[in-house]
Amino acid sequence: MTGQHQKIINAAAKKILAPEGLFRVGSSRRWLDDNGYFVIQVEFQPSSYDRGSYLNVGISFLWETSAGLNEILAFYMGYRVNEAGYVSYKGDDADFTKELEHLAEAAMAKVREYRLFRNMDYAKEQMESQLNSMPENRVFWESYNLAMLCFLKRELNEGKEYFDRFLKILKNPLYGEAPCDWHVELYNHCIQYLCPKLESEDTAHKMVSDMIEWRRIFFSGKPSYKKLKEEFTL
């Protein structure tokens, strides 16, 4: 049975997020904002030890990544909204409602910030800034995502540079360890299926567009994601 705190969380999210175009994923505590080549996830994350909520907001790009991740939505930009803190339910419905509405408003502010990624030039600037601020041994999907964005923008040569960087990460062991099996599998997939499609701006662009279309069709076929349209525009 849904607890009172859960009902308040759902009601606050619906009040603040739904009028702005977000939709709830089934009966979960996640909401999505559709932005074509990416979605923004809002998650009112529960605690294992208390009745309440953290707030996570971030971008999940819809091009393919790996077999293990293609059927879920990950956070590639953003995640925990630390300044929002944790809101605990202490039995006072009115107080918890007020705090949850503030939390939902903080979520909506982040959503508006991430919607700026609809402008792919802006998105590229932000993603490059993220990549350049990271220690080299922590970089992974950041270079891959930049490559896919460049291909989508028809910037073939720059995309190839980021993609080659990603392939080197896959091929070379981190922390002195041997590459794990899924790294090897993903590397072979990239070499066999993706590299041949990088012949021209058009073929690279179509490759990424097809990836996005496939994932949108996959998710929109699920009852929890039925409000996500199959088609998309850039």
Burial of 132 (0-12, 13-18, 19+ CB in 10 A): exposed
Is residue 29 within 8 A of residue 224, CB to CB? The reply is no
DSSP strands (E only) in 107-177: none
Give residue for tokens 């077999």.
67
Q: pLDDT tens digits, residue range 126-182?
A: 999 999 999 988 899 999 999 999 999 999 999 999 999 999 999 886 555 666 888
Query: What is the spatial distance between Cα 41 and Cα 179, in angstroms, rounded to a whole number?
Result: 31
Q: pLDDT tens digits, residue range 56-98?
A: 999 999 999 998 899 999 999 999 999 988 999 998 999 999 9
Query: What is the spatial distance between Cα 17 and Cα 7, in angstroms, rounded to a whole number?
Result: 15
Average pLDDT over residues 208-225: 96
Confidence of residue 47 (pLDDT cuts 50, 70, 90): confident
Tell me which H or E stretch contains 152.
helix 141-152
Write phi, then psi, for 146 (nearest 5 degrees).
-65, -40
Average pLDDT over residues 193-211: 98
Per-residue model confidence (pLDDT) at position 1: 39
